[in-house]
Amino acid sequence: MAAPPQLKAIHHHLRTAQEHEARDPVVAYYCRLYAMQTGMKIDSKSPECRKFLVKLMDQLEIMKKELSDHESISQEVVGNAHIENYALKMFLYADSEDRSGRFHKNMIKSFYTASLLFDVLSVFGELTDENIQHRKYAKWKAAYIHNCLKSGETPQAGPIGMEGEAYDDEFGAEGGGPSQPPQGPPHSQPSFHGNQPSASNFSNIQIPPGSHAPANTPADIPPPEAPPVKPVPVPRAMPVIDPSLLNNTQEGEVRFTPEDFTRAQKYCKYAGSALQYEDVGTAVQNLQKALKLLTTGKE
């Protein structure tokens, strides 16, 4: 069931859904839900778009019944956590490969698919600033590395300063794309300005069995195998834990909401995911955020 040309913006989300039909039907369901909601906003009046969207709704209803036993479908909070965790796992896998200087098609696809899944999180509400940054960075990295490999150049590993740069040509288009990274020192959390690269067709990138690319669930993504010669990691500044957080005695005076506990759980989950890839800096940052929230009631 191909989407009409008017709905080009959701083509890749639908492709991601198709790819996860067997691997993770929950991911497939929410990708289609996002595609349906976005498609309705783009064009729900033209006959071909309306016909396509009605079929997509019917498909979603069937999937919802088939997956009714999954808490990720029956409870939005659980579904949100499932998609967010899957996207973060893909992002961390690709980021780990990137920082280690291992550039390949499956890593590019992991970056790009992660960016699409961060899009999908909008079905549960507004994205957090952190997820917005992850989405922009993943999209930009996928485009940058793709175009470098295509032109025979060696990409620059790790975060790259992107201030004032615009990358708006068709990702994967012939004869285009950023061949050189923006000049400037690496940043642990790059800021983003200008247009982000648009999507390209990833249909020619296959994920073979046993590769590092995500398989059945986010938890199945294996840590990158160590190469014969261990690459020198990109130096990262180690966050310093604020001693005042450890000595705070206001616990009894702070009143927490259910949302506070949910946010604290998210930070702990992010830290656990980062540790799976030996990313100590990110783990410490998220644990520090959780500690601050649980001792002061503020982020």
CA-to-CA distance for 222 and 225, rounded, in angstroms? 8
Q: Kindly report the CA angle at 293 between 288 and 299, in degrees rounded to 5?
A: 90
Residue spans of the domains in the chain: they are 8-74, 90-156, 244-296
Do the beta carbons of residue 282 and residue 271 sit within 8 Å? yes
User: 198: closest CA among 173, 176, 168?
Assistant: 168
The sign of the torsion formed by the CA atoms of 14, 87, 142, 203 equals negative
CA-to-CA distance for 64 and 16, rounded, in angstroms? 18
CATH class of 244-296: mainly alpha
CA-to-CA distance for 140 and 27, rounded, in angstroms? 23
State the residue for tokens 């550039």. 103
Q: Which two tokens stand for residue 67?
A: 């997956």
Q: Fold for 90-156, please state it.
A: 1.25.40
Q: Is 64 exposed, middle or buried (0-12, 13-18, 19+ CB in 10 A)?
A: middle
> For residue 207, what are the CA distances in angstroms to 15, 77, 107, 117?
14, 30, 10, 17
| 245 CB-near residues (< 8 Å, 6+ apart) | 288, 291, 292, 295, 296
Q: Please check whether the two domains, 90-156 and 244-296, share a CATH topology.
A: no
Do the beta carbons of residue 79 and residue 73 sit within 8 Å? yes
CA-to-CA distance for 14 and 1, rounded, in angstroms? 10
Q: Fold for 8-74, please state it.
A: 1.25.40
Global pTM value: 0.59
Q: Where are the beta strands (DSSP E) in 156-224?
A: none
What are the pLDDT tens digits along the chain (299 aa)?
688 999 999 999 999 999 999 999 999 999 999 999 999 999 999 999 999 999 999 999 999 999 999 999 999 999 999 999 999 999 999 999 999 999 999 999 999 999 999 999 999 999 999 999 999 999 999 999 999 999 999 999 988 754 333 333 334 333 333 333 333 333 333 333 333 333 333 333 333 333 333 333 343 444 444 344 444 444 444 444 455 554 544 445 677 777 777 878 877 877 776 675 567 878 788 788 888 888 887 77
